[in-house]
Amino acid sequence: MSHIADTCGQTAKNLFTPLKKKDEKEGSSVRYQELDEDRNEVRTDFGSLGAVGRDVAGFTVDQAVDRLGFGKFQVKLSLLTGIAWMADAMEMMILSILSPALHCYWGITSYEQAMITTVVFCGMILSSTMWGNICDRYGRKTELVLCTLFTFIFGSASALAPSFHWLLILRGLTGFGIGGAPQSVTLYAEFLPSAQRAKCVVLMESFWVMGAVFEALLALVVMETLGWRWLLAISSLPLLIFAICCVWLPESPRYDVARGRPDLAYATLQRVALDNGVQMPAGKLIESTSVDDSRRGRVAELFIPELRRTTLLVWFIWCTNAFTYYGLVLFTTQMYQSSDLCHGGSDAPVDVSHSLECHILTREDYMDILWTTLSEFPGLLITAGVIERIGRKRTMAMEFGVFSCFLFLLFFCLRRKFVTLFIFIARAFISGGFQAAYVYTPEVYPTTLRAIGLGAASGFARIGAIVTPFVAQVASDTSVYIPIAIYGAAGLFGVIASLLLPIETKGRSMKDTHH
């Protein structure tokens, strides 16, 4: 029997020796799938042959992130990316405060006031895809630092604008930088375990609301004493703070693995494990299928057969979200300024020359802006509460549907308090739908296309934001029922598009490639 055992052992050694030599040349691992359940495998680790039954299987970045969980590292990352989100919200919120001040300072027309908002969104459209391409090619951290510094430079320079036309140019360039802000969500989502990803991304969006609220409070203090130039300068400071804090910001391990640097990804994961007080998974980090650098971050890759339908529907959803969200904000002001008593208007006599007067926003105006912005918090909480229960697609569809229902209720003649209530509910749900889209989009695209997918979707959102003033402000001059009908119908189309999405990402691992 001993002779038979020795013979079998020598035979096995002769069989495995060629595999070992071949593996030493290729630097890869040899696995036997049928033995995985018993963990009996023969593998190599940087060229050395492991013993049968002793080595543990490797792990992916996805498995490591889930194993390391949500801890101290994610809390610090939440605060840091939250600062970036607050800073960009302040740069956007200032648009509604700046126009009245410039009307008094330079005597600009209502058309020129509208241009202040238009040039910012135009800059965002032009840059969204470019920033996504940089993010996928050169890294999430690199892109965030560049776009933040770009936004800070031109945002603060706007305070020194010598004329209105120079201000338009500088605000347009500020918008160009803001177009890269959504990529902070890309980086943040790639460090979150799948069980907490949706809720964390939605709750991080609360930093946007906090930024908008802080800008309203800042305007309340600064505008009456120091003026609009100081408001612009002070509002850009959080961007500088974020850029400085980026020294701590790590690169995404998913991105490092996708570009063929698993050593850097492993080091980042070790850093997460140390912060969270959790042990790293045993074994070797498994690399994903390598992808040609020329194919990473390309818009054309969003239209491969597996992603074409998803991409088109995601773009439509983002465009509809921005069209209805920003439209409702503008339309609310139009209704309250009208003489239509059925839609929150006033029965006070209208002064025809009022549009030519210099009207500075009052303390009451700033408080109204503040309360309107606070109405978005319930939408965030509702989204966070249901998105893991009913899924991403149904959450977006539900929120579009509720928005449409409360918009259509405005067809009836109502008291002002009911008009206000219905508008606040509609705004809460459409803002929540926006946050659900921010959860779904990074999840549905692979690491190699995640940033360009989010950037392109963000670009289409800006198209909706540019078009919506013509509905909310121009069409409402003819009849307030026109915007109500258009926005309500847009919400219904959003319901259909959400349900038609071919992929539900609830509980789905974030993929590294689309192959």
Tens digits of residue pLDDT in 304-324 = 888 889 999 999 999 999 999
Which of the four pLDDT bands, split at 50, 70 and 90, describes residue 23? very low
User: Which pLDDT score, from 0 to 100, does residue 349 have?
Assistant: 43
Residues facing 49 on adjacent strands? 44
For the segment 350-372, the average pLDDT, to the nearest whole number, is 58
Question: Between 345 and 281, whose confidence is greater?
Answer: 281
Which of the four pLDDT bands, split at 50, 70 and 90, describes residue 343? low
For the segment 219-242, the average pLDDT, to the nearest whole number, is 86
User: Which pLDDT score, from 0 to 100, does residue 419 have?
Assistant: 83
DSSP one-letter string for 364-393 = HHHHHHHHHHHTHHHHHHHHHHHHHHH-HH
499: pLDDT strictly greater than 90: yes
Please name the residue ranges forming H helices in 236-351.
Answer: 237-245, 253-258, 262-276, 308-337
348: pLDDT strictly greater than 50: no
pLDDT digits (tens, 9 = 90+) for 274-313: 888 888 887 787 765 544 454 555 677 788 888 889 999 9
To 10 degrees, what angle do helices 237-245 and 140-157 make? 150
User: Which pLDDT score, from 0 to 100, does residue 393 have?
Assistant: 93
User: Which pLDDT score, from 0 to 100, does residue 110 have?
Assistant: 65
User: Which pLDDT score, from 0 to 100, does residue 7 have?
Assistant: 45
User: Which pLDDT score, from 0 to 100, does residue 338 have?
Assistant: 58
377: pLDDT strictly greater than 80: yes
User: Which pLDDT score, from 0 to 100, does residue 82 have?
Assistant: 84
| Range of weakest confidence among 334-343, 436-445, 498-507 | 334-343
Question: Between 213 and 95, whose confidence is greater?
Answer: 213
| Range of weakest confidence among 95-109, 136-150, 171-185 | 95-109
Residue 361's closest CA among 99, 96, 100, 94? 100
Residues facing 44 on adjacent strands? 49
CB 491 within 8 A of CB 406: no
Which of the four pLDDT bands, split at 50, 70 and 90, describes residue 364? low
Which of the four pLDDT bands, split at 50, 70 and 90, describes residue 485? very high
Q: What is the mean pLDDT of the chain?
A: 76
Q: pTM of the full predicted structure?
A: 0.68
User: Which pLDDT score, from 0 to 100, does residue 313 have?
Assistant: 95
**Spatial CB neighbours of 188, under 8 Å, sequence gap ≥ 6:** 77, 78, 81, 200, 201, 204
Pairing of strands 48-49, 44-45: antiparallel
For the segment 406-414, the average pLDDT, to the nearest whole number, is 89
Which of the four pLDDT bands, split at 50, 70 and 90, describes residue 399? very high
Which of the four pLDDT bands, split at 50, 70 and 90, describes residue 17? very low
25: pLDDT strictly greater than 90: no
User: Which pLDDT score, from 0 to 100, does residue 341 have?
Assistant: 58
Question: How far is residue 19's CA from residue 9's CA, in Å, rounded to a whole number?
Answer: 16
User: Which pLDDT score, from 0 to 100, does residue 49 have?
Assistant: 35
| Range of weakest confidence among 82-86, 286-290, 484-488 | 286-290
User: Which pLDDT score, from 0 to 100, does residue 512 have?
Assistant: 57
Question: How far is residue 469's CA from residue 226's CA, in Å, rounded to a whole number?
Answer: 30
For the segment 354-375, the average pLDDT, to the nearest whole number, is 64
User: Which pLDDT score, from 0 to 100, does residue 3 have?
Assistant: 46
Which of the four pLDDT bands, split at 50, 70 and 90, describes residue 502? very high
For the segment 124-146, the average pLDDT, to the nearest whole number, is 81
CB 100 within 8 A of CB 359: yes
User: Which pLDDT score, from 0 to 100, does residue 368 have?
Assistant: 67
486: pLDDT strictly greater than 80: yes
Percent of the chain with pLDDT over 90: 14
Question: Between 292 and 459, whose confidence is greater?
Answer: 459
374: pLDDT strictly greater than 50: yes
Residue 495's closest CA among 397, 409, 421, 376? 397
51: pLDDT strictly greater than 70: no
Question: How far is residue 162's CA from residue 168's CA, in Å, rounded to a whole number?
Answer: 11
Residue 458's closest CA among 65, 92, 83? 92
For the segment 178-191, the average pLDDT, to the nearest whole number, is 79
| Range of weakest confidence among 82-96, 264-278, 309-323, 423-437 | 82-96
For the segment 183-205, the average pLDDT, to the nearest whole number, is 76
